[in-house]
Amino acid sequence: MTAIGPPLEDPFAPGNGTPTKKVAYFYDSDVGNFAYNTGHPMKPHRIRIAHSLILNSGLYKKMEIYVSVLLRSLELLLIYLIARETSLQA
C-alpha cells in the first residue's frame, strides 16, 4: 500500500505534541426500538452498526461513555422549562 500523505497523528497518544483529546460517546440500546418514517434522518440500524464497530474495535476503551437514563415526566418538564427560559433571555 502506498502512502498518500504524512501519517495521521493519534489524538489519544500522549506526548505527540498535541493535547490529548477526549471523546464522549452517548449510546442508548433502545434506539432501534422506534419506527421512523422514510424521510426521517435518524437511522437506528446505522447507529447499531456504529456501536458494534466501536465495541469490536476496542475504541470504547479510549472514550468517556455515557448511558442515557429514562426521565420521569416531571424531570423532562423541568428541563424543558429551564431551556425555554434560557432561550427567552437570550
Instruction: Supply the DSSP string of 19-44, one letter for each residue.
Output: PPPP-EEEE-GGGGGS---TT-S--H
33 located within any domain: yes
Q: Containing domain of residue 28, as a range?
A: 24-89
Whether 42 is covered by a domain: the verdict is yes
Write down the pLDDT at residue 53: 92
Would 12 be classed as within a structural domain? no
At 22-48, the pLDDT tens digits run 778 888 888 777 777 888 887 888 888
> Does some domain include residue 16?
no
SS3 74: helix
pTM value is 0.53
Phi and psi angles of residue 26, each rounded to the nearest 5 degrees, phi first? -110, 130
How many structural domains is the chain composed of?
A: 1
Judge whether 35 lies within some domain.
yes
